[in-house]
Amino acid sequence: MNTFERVKQLCAQRHLTLAQVNDRAGMGKNSIYSWKTSKPGMENLQKVAKVLHTSADYLLGNTNDSSPVHKDNEHPYVDITDDETIYSYRGKPVPKEYLDVIRNLMDSDIRKGKDR
């Protein structure tokens, strides 16, 4: 599977179109489609990997583990205040309404001093 096919597969799993990922990564129109016939630049590859919550190594086929990789000095937690990030549970996207409920519960706990 080449880079384009891996991106396309992850898009399908996350219920996104290639155009949506392309836009969220801030790349030129149809940039991802050009990856069918040419290799992507590292900067754009990393942008797409970030949007898809995976690693550039996975997209390049260097690993079959699509889990995101964290740098040693970076914690694995994700800030759920970002409305542009797509969250998933068991391979399905988490609806915005669910995230709002989670945010409200966490805000309530923090206000009560239950910061974990």
Q: Quote the tokens at residue 14.
A: 């996350």
- Three-class SS of residue 13? helix
pLDDT tens digits for range 52-81: 989 899 999 998 888 765 554 454 455 566
Query: What are the b/e assignments for 83-92, b being 16+ CB within 10 Å?
Result: eeebbeeeee
Q: How far apart are CA 60 and CA 3, in angstroms?
A: 5
pLDDT at 75: 47
Per-residue confidence at 103, pLDDT binned at 50, 70, 90?
A: confident
pLDDT tens digits for range 10-55: 999 989 999 999 999 999 988 999 999 999 999 999 999 999 989 8
